């Protein structure tokens, strides 16, 4: 009878050891999964940060290009304003010449009568 208990005790110890080993494996698996999840989250954050820096750089380059375009447009508008003023002077001169021409025609027609 004593031998049967010894086998049962040994079997019970083996059972307890197996349960303990299984529990430790479960905890390790859980920790490894948790660490893996954390590493994935960290990687995503780093990639997001590097993408943000890249996007900021692109935005800065775009702003420089836009600023150059605005300065060029301002310069063009100034030149167009100068040309408009010159055209107005020419229009006034032409109107005066047309009026003088009309007066000369009246005088000529009066002389020829």
- CA dihedral angle for residue 104, residue 106, residue 110, residue 113, rounded to 10 degrees: 110
User: What pLDDT was estimated at residue 90?
Assistant: 97
Q: Between residues 75 and 44, which one has the greater pLDDT?
A: 75
What is this structure's pTM?
0.45
Q: What is the mean pLDDT of the chain?
A: 85
User: What pLDDT was estimated at residue 5?
Assistant: 53
Query: CA distances (Å), 12 to each of 1, 16, 22, 58, 84, in order?
Result: 16, 6, 15, 68, 105
Q: Which of 48, 40, 57, 7 is nearest to 32 (CA)?
A: 40
What tokens does 38 get?
């954390």
Q: Is the pLDDT of residue 105 over 80?
A: yes
Q: Which of 64, 66, 60 is nearest to 52 (CA)?
A: 60
pLDDT 10s digits, 14-55: 777 777 777 878 888 888 899 899 999 988 888 887 788 888
């Amino acid at each position: 009878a004593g031998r049967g208990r010894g086998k049962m005790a040994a079997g019970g110890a083996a059972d307890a050891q197996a349960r303990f080993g299984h529990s430790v494996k479960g905890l390790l698996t859980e920790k490894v999964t948790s660490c893996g999840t954390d590493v994935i989250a960290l990687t995503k954050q780093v990639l997001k940060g590097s993408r943000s820096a890249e996007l900021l750089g692109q935005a800065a380059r775009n702003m420089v290009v836009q600023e150059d375009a605005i300065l060029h447009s301002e310069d063009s508008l100034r030149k167009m304003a100068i040309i408009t003023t010159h055209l107005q002077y020419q229009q006034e001169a032409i109107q005066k010449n047309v009026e003088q021409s009309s007066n000369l025609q009246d005088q000529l027609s009066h002389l020829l009568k």
